[in-house]
Amino acid sequence: MIADNPGRTRAQLSRLACRLLQWRKADGGLKEMSCRVVMLRMHREGLLQLPPPRNRQGGSSRIEHTFWSAPQEPLSRPVHELPGVHLEPVRSRPDSALWNEYIDRYHYLGYTPLPGVQLRYFARWEHRTLALLGFGAAAWKTAPRDRFIGWRRSERERNLQLIVNNARCLILPWVQSKNLASKLLALAARQLPQDWHDRYAYRPVLLETFVDTQRFTGACYKAANWIHVGQTQGRGKLDRHHQADLPTKSIWLYPLSKLFRRSLRST
């Protein structure tokens, strides 16, 4: 396809690939961003040669840290003294850039794009940003989760989109609010299904997350009634040689529907 379309940009090639492969979202739109992530990964691994990017930025994608994300006055109040705490979805380009900037500046992993379908939120109280949450595509497979669901491979391939991964959860460092994290996770569990439906035309039935056990205990997920189902083996998504060289992570799940197993195992 690339050889037959030498003048196409990377974005154009990803759209063409989606059409050829009939790779579409539930709402009928092309899975363009997921395709671009896959193609870039294949390019980096030498499996194909993409054309040079059109929009180079000096070879760097570093995010500038502006005064919009600068540290603010400390906030030290328990969550029950913060009436009206709510989640605001990222909807505009300025909101998206600000969310990315906060994550890059204060999250220990820094900013990396969430591939595929996603929703990002600001947690706010009285116009102050307290925290940020990001949700994206689920892990392709993970044994503890898949045992908990009890689905077959064909069922997983068909219904994986019904699982959403909580990829980022960041309480800003100047915010010290007891029980805030579990409160926000509970808000997200109630709000996300409808927000997801509004954007992608279907409702997820299960949330998942992976907690770095060297840094965190997962206490906020436990307090929000998430279910601990096991641990990763530390191999990562791209491991091909079964060598554990990444931090072990605990796996937590939160059903969004009482019939989540029936939905995930449906044919």
HSE on the CB side for 173, CA within 13 Å? Answer: 9
The architecture of the domain spanning 68-264 is 3-Layer(aba) Sandwich (3.40)
Number of alpha carbons in the 13 Å side-chain half-sphere of residue 68: 15
Region of poorest pLDDT, from 115-124, 220-229, 230-239: 230-239
pLDDT at 83 over 60: yes
User: What residues contact residue 114 under an 8 Å CB cut-off, 6+ apart?
Assistant: 120, 134, 135, 136, 137, 167, 168
pLDDT, tens only, 4-57: 888 899 989 999 999 999 888 877 888 887 888 888 889 988 999 999 887 654
How many CB atoms neighbour CB 223 within 10 A? 14
CA–CA gap between residue 208 and residue 166 (Å, rounded)? 6
Cα 24 to the center of its chain, rounded Å: 19
Q: Which of the listed ranges 140-154, 223-237, 238-252 does the model predict with the highest average pLDDT?
A: 140-154
Domain spans in the chain, listed from the N-terminal domain onward: 1-61, 68-264
Contact 17, 35 (CB under 8 A): yes
Q: What is the DSSP string of 139-152?
A: PS--HHHHHHHT--
As a whole number, mean pLDDT of residues 199-219 equals: 95
Name the DSSP letter for residue 176: -
Among residues 246, 216, 242, the alpha carbon closest in space to that of 228 is found at 216
Give the tens place of pLDDT for each residue, 97-119: 999 999 999 999 999 988 788 99
Does residue 95 surpass a pLDDT of 80? yes
pLDDT digits (tens, 9 = 90+) for 156-170: 999 999 999 999 999
Band of pLDDT at residue 236, cut at 50, 70 and 90: low
Instruction: Map tokens 């189902």 to a residue.
Output: 229
Q: Do 142 and 257 touch, CB atoms closer than 8 A? A: no
Give 126's contacts (C-beta < 8 A, 6+ positions apart).
Answer: 84
- List the single range of 8-12, 92-96, 226-230, 251-255 with lowest mean pLDDT: 8-12
Predicted local distance difference test score (pLDDT) of residue 26: 73
Query: Are 222 and 254 contacting, i.e. CB atoms less than 8 angstroms apart?
Result: no
Cα distance between residue 210 and residue 218, in whole Å: 9
pLDDT at 59: 40
